[in-house]
Amino acid sequence: MQLILASNSPRRRELLAQFHIPFEVSPSHFEERAEGLCARETVLRFAEGKAREVAGRYPGAYVLGADTVVCHRGEILGKPKDAEDAGRMLRRLSGETHSVFTGVCLIGRGKFLLDAAETKVSFPPLSEAFIEEYVKSGSPLDKAGAYGIQDGVPVSNREGSYTNVIGLPVELVERFFKEVCLC
């Protein structure tokens, strides 16, 4: 039984490896366009699009697609364009609560499973020194909302899945795998 992860994210690879199911990585070439969609609809559309695009190359395999965004006051914050954009996002989230949404899609062998997880995350006020050092590290540049919770970014409160904030809600993936008898 073949499992393909439709993502090149090292964080998703690490989280998926926790299931001890052999898998291959095949990044998707799905073009992400979601004008006018809310955060939940966006991640569902992107996760499905990524999974379907890769599934077309691997008939007979199970393909897992995922997409994560940060939503603050109704605005979707994806990956920053550059260091300046990362700093802007972090300043915006400083002292505020936002939601992290991850859509997950599992396709294969006649099965189609699609759902999303939401985690609410609150930051305390972040110092300018912290923001500058963190941005300088380069870590925020490949992460939705310009941060990785696993990087030690201060969090004053979290409601929901920790692994969702990293980029793959393992609880949701486990439910999908049980439905198709992968674990």
Query: Which residue numbers are catalytic?
Result: 67
In the DSSP assignment, the letter for residue 60 is T
End-to-end C-alpha distance for the chain, whole angstroms: 12
Question: What is d(CA 99, CA 119) in angstroms, rounded to the nearest whole number?
Answer: 6
139 membership: H or E segment, kind and range: none
164 membership: H or E segment, kind and range: helix 162-166
Judge residue 154's burial from the number of C-beta atoms within 10 Å of its C-beta, 0-12 exposed, 13-18 middle, 19 or more buried.
Answer: middle
Question: 146, 112 in Cβ contact below 8 A?
Answer: no
In the DSSP assignment, the letter for residue 77 is E
Question: What is d(CA 115, CA 93) in angstroms, rounded to the nearest whole number?
Answer: 26
Torsion angle (degrees, nearest 10) of CA 159, 160, 162, 168: -140
